[in-house]
Chain A
Amino acid sequence: MTAPVSNPVSPNSGVARRIDVKNLNIYYGSFLAVKDVSMTIQPNKVTALIGSSGCGKSTFLRSLNRMHELVAGARVEGSVTIDGVDIYAPTMDPVVVRRQIGMVFQNPNPFPTMSIYDNTAAGLKLNSKRMKRSQMDTIVEKALRGAHLWEEVKDRLDKPGSGLSGGQQQRLCIARATAVEPEVLLMDEPCSALDPIATLAIEDLIDELKQKFTIVIVTHNMQQAARASDMTGFFNIEHSGDPGQLIELDETEKIFSNPVHQETEDYVSGRFG
């Protein structure tokens, strides 16, 4: 059964989705980067992915919205389904998949030639969604309010997005991602480039956002994973050059108070080599 190409799940309904990953292997050419991952990402929850550098967590995250395909030679085996719809089906257009899933990156990247307003509406404008100005105004305000940025920028919506501080820029990127009301929000180390105060502000924001979205966040910062997530998945590689694997996925409080695997215990306690 193939879903219509332009409409993989119902149009962005603003309902958080559940992601089921089954036996996912991610290849770059012949190199296996991530091996045999199976997990379920719960709707309206924050799932954090932790693990040391190079263990495949970012690669895995990007495979959830097919962004890893931007690298030549990338392919997957196994399935990723969002509420039952396989996003890797042959008829599925990756561009359409990405419209349903929002992504925020480590280095805030607002578009420098666009105003704050245009940046927030970029997901709509760049895809030539036609709508009345008043409609777009509502969407932009809602997104900026949701990102806790409205009060700070409401008087300068037409100023360029690059004039903001790092933390504000990241919130602008979050507003941009949420404006199109995706069902899933992916965040790749969203706070790594920010100072501690901005980081905590984003974490509070994430806590609120999970009421509307399913959130997956990759982080290097274990304390952040402990603070901000409901579920935590630990990725690891045996030796350099081996594929990354999911070692353990469980409720965050369990991972940090009484994990099952010794590897997980060693990593969270900082006893890693």
Chain B
Amino acid sequence: MRIHYQEELTRLETQALGGFDLVNRSLDRTMEAVEHQDLELAQIVIGDDDQIDGRYLEVHQGLITLLATQSPVATDLRLISALLHVIKNIERMGDQCVNICKLLPIVGSEPPTDQEMVNQILSMGKKVRDLNIQAKRAFADRDELMALDLVVQDDFVDRLNKKCFALAIEIGDDVDLREWAMTMLLAARALERMGDNAVDVGEQVAFIVTGLFREFEDASHPL
């Protein structure tokens, strides 16, 4: 029964989750741009963010239409609410990549680099990439445990962020590197925010499955 409704809901979920792939593509390019200080690549990332925004609008519109026309209840309603959150998080993640890319030209095309810091940033990027894949999988499978694990994985990202902060302070004495270090710090912050976005997606998974809407505490301090 209600075949059209079911199909449409499934389609919107697929579209929404496909946003993760778009984000990871942007993320990969952003990391590459950071590694090689590639300003052209950064521009491409900024331009391609329109795709992510477009995906957001499309899915959002589709969900609103379902709410208006199909009176969804119970699990369907929770799924639609969750998808609204997910697609918002994906759009934010795309914006974070754009933020990072916007930072690169500030310091010119051949800036002095501290390899250690760059490595930290790249590690964070890789971790966030894994987080996205895990979040997507957890949502698609409605896997609550996998979703909870996102918190643990996000801890790595948070720790790397703190390390970057410490490094930046060290570098701070060097006048030439200082400006560059500040922008890198902002980049790290953007990546840390992306990790949080992924965790938010995990919270939505729990909501669909249990019907309870809660912030994930630190997994090592369970409720």
A and B touch in the complex (CB under 8 A): yes
Partner of A226, one of B2, B5, B73, B75: B73
Q: Decide: A258 and B71 in contact? CB cutoff 8 A.
A: no
Q: How far is the CA of A265 from the CA of B1 in the complex (A)?
A: 14
Q: Decide: B74 and A265 in contact? CB cutoff 8 A.
A: yes
Q: Decide: A259 and B1 in contact? CB cutoff 8 A.
A: no
Q: Mark B1-34, 1 if CB is under 8 A from A, else 0.
A: 1100100000000000000000000000000000
The verdict on A273 contacting B73 (CB below 8 Å), with A257-B78, A258-B211 known, is no
Q: How far is the CA of A269 from the CA of B74 in the complex (A)?
A: 7
Chain B stretch 63-79: residues in CB contact (< 8 A) with chain A:
71-78
Q: Across the interface, which residues of B come within 8 angstroms of A265, CB to CB?
A: 74-75
Q: Decide: B71 and A223 in contact? CB cutoff 8 A.
A: yes
Among B71, B72, B74, B76, residue most surrounded by chain A Cβ atoms (within 10 Å) = B74
Q: Which range holds the interface residue count of chain B? A: 10 to 19
Q: Across the interface, which residues of B come within 8 angstroms of A90, CB to CB?
A: none
Residue of B nearest to A264 (CB): B74
A271 CB–B CB distance under 8 Å: yes
The verdict on A269 contacting B76 (CB below 8 Å), with A223-B71, A257-B211, A258-B211 known, is yes
Partner of B2, one of A258, A259, A270: A270
| Shortest Cβ gap from B70 to chain A (Å) | 9
Give me 8 other A-B pairs in contact (C-beta within 8 A), A256-B74, A257-B73 excluded: A222-B71, A222-B73, A223-B71, A257-B78, A257-B211, A265-B74, A270-B2, A273-B1
The verdict on A269 contacting B72 (CB below 8 Å), with A257-B78, A258-B78 known, is yes
Among A223, A256, A258, residue most surrounded by chain B Cβ atoms (within 10 Å) = A258
Interface set of B (CB-CB < 8 Å, partner A):
1-2, 5, 71-78, 211
| Shortest Cβ gap from A69 to chain B (Å) | 36
Q: Across the interface, which residues of B come within 8 angstroms of A271, CB to CB?
A: 1-2
Can you sample 5 A-B contacts with CB below 8 Å?
A222-B71, A256-B77, A257-B211, A269-B76, A270-B5
Among B73, B75, B76, B77, residue most surrounded by chain A Cβ atoms (within 10 Å) = B73
Q: Mark A252-269, 1 if CB is under 8 A from B, else 0.
A: 000011110000010011
Q: Decide: B73 and A268 in contact? CB cutoff 8 A.
A: yes
Q: Across the interface, which residues of B come within 8 angstroms of A270, CB to CB?
A: 1-2, 5
Q: Across the interface, which residues of B come within 8 angstroms of A273, CB to CB?
A: 1
